[in-house]
Amino acid sequence: MHDTYTLFGTQGCGSTIVAAALALTAFPWGYEEVDYTQDGPERDRLLALNPLGQVPTLVLPNDEVMTESAAIILLLHDRAPHAELAPPGGSPLLPRFLRWLLFINAEIYPTFTYADHPQRWQPQAAGAEQLKNAVMDYRERLLRQLNAAAGASGPWFLGKSFSALDLYLAVMCNWRPGRAWFRQHCPRLYAIAERVDQRPELNALLSAHFDGVAPLEP
């Protein structure tokens, strides 16, 4: 038994959301960079912890393994309510938070599964390109819906209350279709991402994950 959380992640991927959440908890934690796309000892270790070979994978202080960013966020909120990762129980904002947390994970995230490597699902080149374009169009529609749901008066997605939804947006704005698209088509989401980037306790972490890195998929 130890008191340190260990996050297995990949630069610029969805694990960055959990890294930012851990930074806000002030819990002791370590980070291990893993290229989950390449065979080798690093990937073998990740697979031993998470058979899906995905990041984020978080090893808790009691050595239990957590996967799925939404589940990890909810666990960290339970253990560190001071980090304000979610509204407190009984808050009128909690249903809205849960709805959009699951919307991101259950609706938007799967579009990366199909658009990133469409040839896995449609071997024909023309069909793969058609699938990618259709899924990208669908992703953009979902992001516009998310933008419309963001609090109009800001500064955060839930209005005056910060939450992990804002961490998701800070990371997702670096993924396709890219920051320029977000700035033009989803200005509320883009503005939130910019504010998160400027938080002193997160600025260095986010810069380390994204400065000079091409737009990534989770």
pLDDT at 37 over 90: no
pLDDT in tens, 39-96: 889 999 999 999 999 999 999 999 999 999 999 999 999 999 999 999 999 999 999 9
Q: Is the CB of residue 61 less than 8 Å from the CB of residue 5? A: yes
Q: Taking residues 202-216, what's their average pLDDT?
A: 79
pLDDT of residue 215: 47
162: left (phi over 0), alpha (psi -120 to 50) or beta: beta
What's the Rg (C-alpha) of the chain?
Answer: 17
pLDDT of residue 127: 85
d(Cα 186, Cα 198) in Å, to the nearest integer?
19
| Predicted local confidence at residue 217, as pLDDT | 45
Residue 34: band (very low, low, confident or very high) from pLDDT cuts 50, 70, 90: very high
Phi, psi at residue 97, to the nearest 5°?
-60, -50
Mean pLDDT value of segment 127-148: 95
pLDDT > 60? residue 218: no
- Which domains can be identified in the chain, with CATH numbers? 5-83 (3.40.30.10), 94-199 (1.20.1050.10)
How far, in whole angstroms, is CA 50 from its chain's centroid? 18
| pLDDT at 104 exceeding the cut of 50 | yes
193-197 long-range contacts, Cβ below 8 Å, gap at least 24? 193/166, 193/169, 195/154, 195/155, 195/156, 195/166, 196/20, 196/166, 196/167, 196/169, 196/170, 197/170
CB 16 within 8 A of CB 164: no
Supply the pTM of this predicted model. 0.94
Residue 118 has pLDDT above 50, yes or no: yes
Q: Give the up-direction half-sphere exposure of residue 88: CA atoms within 13 A in the CB hemisphere.
A: 3
